[in-house]
């Protein structure tokens, strides 16, 4: 049912916006939402990033890294 609504709305867009919509769909699929399933159970936050910058602790302080991160934004 949602597919019909999406197709109908996509048909109403000009060609430039159709390409943008397709780009967004590709982005969602690339992020892994193509197999996304809604569940009542929420997944726990993972700390697999922890220690990712440990090799820089001798070179920078945490405050200096925060300032660098601000510059990158």
Contacts of 68 (CB under 8 A, 6+ apart): 60
For the chain, give every domain's residue range.
2-72
What pTM does this model have?
Answer: 0.42
When pLDDT is cut at 50, 70 and 90, the band that residue 48 belongs to is confident
Residue ranges in 1-73 assigned as alpha helix (H): 2-12, 15-30, 62-72
pLDDT of residue 37: 59
Mean pLDDT of 31-60: 73
């Amino acid at each position: 049912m949602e597919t019909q609504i999406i197709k109908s709305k996509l048909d109403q867009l000009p060609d430039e916006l159709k390409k943008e919509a397709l780009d967004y769909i590709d982005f969602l699929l690339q992020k892994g939402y193509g197999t996304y399933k809604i569940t009542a159970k929420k997944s726990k936050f993972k700390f697999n990033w922890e220690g990712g910058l440990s090799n820089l602790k001798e070179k920078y302080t945490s405050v200096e890294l925060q300032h660098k991160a601000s510059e990158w934004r």
